[in-house]
Structure 1
Amino acid sequence: MRPYSSHRLFAIVFSLALHAGVWLLAIGYQFKYVSPAETPKTAEKIVYLELIPPPSQPLPDPAPTTTPPTTPITAPPPDTALAAPAPAPPPSPDSPRASQAAPPPPTAEEWAFAANYTNKNSKGYRYSWGQQVRSMMGSAVEGPDQGLVRFRIEIAPDGSLAQLQTLWTTSPVAEQLARQAIQNMPPLPPTPTGKPLIFDKTISFSPFASEGPPLYRDDCLPEPPVFRNPFAWDGLSPQLVAAPTPTAPLDPQALADCLRQLPKDSVEAESASDQRLMDQWGSSKTGR
């Protein structure tokens, strides 16, 4: 073997041994378990407790016990075994009840306006007629006699009653009082158009509701189209989809006559209109 070959072999063996040693040291350092340092122990302190009994005292003599006499339990008679509890007493008749005085009848000026107002099927005449009836019915008191009654009325051209029909009612007393007031009404002015006036009217005889004056500012606007179900069908006639009929606006002359009759709305009319909206739509839509 040549001399330089042995040196080369020695260098390779020495390099392998050196790498092996470094690898062994790295493994021993990485995976060596290091135990935590022991915490210094504190000296334990032992405390001894001694229980001393209380001084002895003589016990009092027990009181004599008596057994109460036993009463035999007997079943109730068959008639009263399932008897209902006594009913609650009725409310005191002396408790105050809500009431509302009758409104004043229409004045001569209000009747004069109603006798000449032709818009909206004589709107002012219809309101004054209902106010006159309600004022003659007297005060409304909370209780079973309060309620509503709706009539269909026909007024002759001279202002006299031509026909009276009850459509529905929630109180026979309210209907009787309203009919009595209608029969005893004073002479009324002629109808504004000089023709029979036919309308439906609801009279409220209640301490919690009152009809205020109407608003007249929108009476010259065209009537909104009446909604009719376009898909309604009787099953016999040809099935057709009905289109809504548009409302024609007033001609200039009729519009001018209508605007000439419009009065100035009062604060009471505005308040009554707001109250009707509140009663119609309720708190969920108006914030009340």
Structure 2
Amino acid sequence: MDPDRLRHSLAALVVLCVHGLALVLAGGLLQRASKGARAPQSVIQLVLVPPEPPAAPAAPEVLLAPTLPEPSIEARALPLEPPPVLDRPPATQAAPPAPTAAEWAFAAGYALKNSKGYRHSWGRQVRSLMGTAVEGPDQGLVRFRVEIAPDGRLIQLETLWSTSPLAERLARQAIEAMPPLPPTPTGQPLIFERTISFSPFATDDAPVYRNDCRPDPPVFRNPFAWDGRAPQVRAEQKVDAPLDPQALAECLRQLPTDSLEAESANDQRHIERGRSSRLGR
């Protein structure tokens, strides 16, 4: 045999053996894989259990009031104790003396600050006729709006407010019993408001005259206030102009000397005003 052909034949035989071996190996792998796919698998099953409902709240415990024994006949017959009595007598304040003829003469000629002296003497005259003020539920204040004619007659009396019916009644009785008053200082009707204090703790309200020649301090008023009828305009704040030197000198000559009682009353008014402003904060 030719050597070349022999080599070719051997080579072909080797190739066929290698392919046959590869086919055998591939078949075994496929068979093993198919057997593994057919193997039974374990199944995990999840079961959801609903939560248990919350327990109902326990009923609140009812506490019964203890049964008290009925009071005996002797206990029920005992009178109630009266309220405790104060260990001191109630405070009182006598009525102030009426203005003298000299004080009324000064008031009838003093026209500054809306006839300040006349208004003060009128209030003092009323209080002097009201009698003694006693500490208790009958003490209080009453405020009037008063209009007096130029000849001193009372034209109108209106109660603005009152904290004591007795104080209002006594004040009205005193006004009806007042003696004839002198003419007003300006010769015009005098209109003013006056508070009468019927209390054992009221202090003398004598006025101070030393500042009556100075202009009044400006009083704040809402510039946008409107009555709904008049044209809507902004109101300007009114400021009083000071007096010229000659008029100021003439005014100062009319001022009386302030009494010690007036100074004390003025200081007390400032103290009470400061105390009320601190309490309102």
- TM-score tier after normalising by the smaller chain length: 0.5 to 0.7
CA distance in 2, matches of 1:222, 1:266: 22
Aligned residues between the structures? 207
What's 2:100 paired with?
A: 107
CA distance in 1, matches of 2:275, 2:81: 34
Q: Residues 111 and 128 of structure 1 are in contact (CA less than 8 Å); yes or no, is this contact kept in structure 2? A: yes
Give TM-score, length-normalised by structure 1: 0.64
What's 2:110 paired with?
A: 117
Q: Residues 150 and 183 of structure 2 are in contact (CA less than 8 Å); yes or no, is this contact kept in structure 1? A: yes
Q: Tell me if 1:212 matches 2:224.
A: no
Percent of matched pairs sharing the same residue? 71
Which has the higher mean CA deviation after the structures are superposed, 213-222 or 276-285?
A: 276-285
Which has the higher mean CA deviation after the structures are superposed, 101-110 or 175-184?
A: 101-110
Q: Residues 142 and 161 of structure 2 are in contact (CA less than 8 Å); yes or no, is this contact kept in structure 1? A: yes
CA distance in 1, matches of 2:104, 2:232: 50
| Structure 1 or 2: more helix by fraction | 2
Q: Tell me if 1:179 matches 2:134.
A: no
Q: Which segments of 5 or more consecutive residues in structure 2 lack a partner in the other structure?
A: 1-65, 71-78
Q: Residues 204 and 210 of structure 1 are in contact (CA less than 8 Å); yes or no, is this contact kept in structure 2? A: no
Q: Tell me if 1:244 matches 2:237.
A: yes
Q: Residues 204 and 261 of structure 2 are in contact (CA less than 8 Å); yes or no, is this contact kept in structure 1? A: no
Paired residues for 1:46-85 under 5 Å: 76=69
Instruction: Mark the CA change 1:89 to 1:227 in structure 2 (over 3 Å): closer, same or farther.
Output: same
Of residues 144, 149, 158, the one that matches 1:151 is 144
Please state whether the residue corresponding to 2:175 is helix, strand or coil.
Answer: helix
Paired residues for 1:1-288 under 5 Å: 76=69, 89-92=82-85, 95-230=88-223, 243-252=236-245, 254-282=247-275
Q: Which segments of 5 or more consecutive residues in structure 1 lack a partner in the other structure?
A: 1-72, 78-85
Instruction: Mark the CA change 1:187 to 1:74 in structure 2 (over 3 Å): closer, same or farther.
Output: closer
Instruction: Mark the CA change 1:185 to 1:74 in structure 2 (over 3 Å): closer, same or farther.
Output: closer
Q: Residues 230 and 242 of structure 1 are in contact (CA less than 8 Å); yes or no, is this contact kept in structure 2? A: yes
CA distance in 2, matches of 1:181, 1:105: 12
Q: What per-residue deviation string (whole Å, max 9, x for no partner) do you get for residues 137-188 of structure 1?
A: 0010001110000000111111111111100000000000000000000111
CA distance in 1, matches of 2:213, 2:127: 28
CA distance in 2, matches of 1:181, 1:88: 40
Which has the higher mean CA deviation after the structures are superposed, 204-213 or 163-172?
A: 204-213
Higher alpha-carbon Rg: 2
Please state whether the residue corresponding to 1:115 is helix, strand or coil.
Answer: helix
Please state whether the residue corresponding to 1:153 is helix, strand or coil.
Answer: strand
Instruction: Mark the CA change 1:179 to 1:236 in structure 2 (over 3 Å): closer, same or farther.
Output: closer
Please state whether the residue corresponding to 2:118 is helix, strand or coil.
Answer: helix
Give TM-score, length-normalised by structure 2: 0.65
Q: What per-residue deviation string (whole Å, max 9, x for no partner) do you get for residues 13-34 of structure 1?
A: xxxxxxxxxxxxxxxxxxxxxx
CA distance in 2, matches of 1:187, 1:107: 13
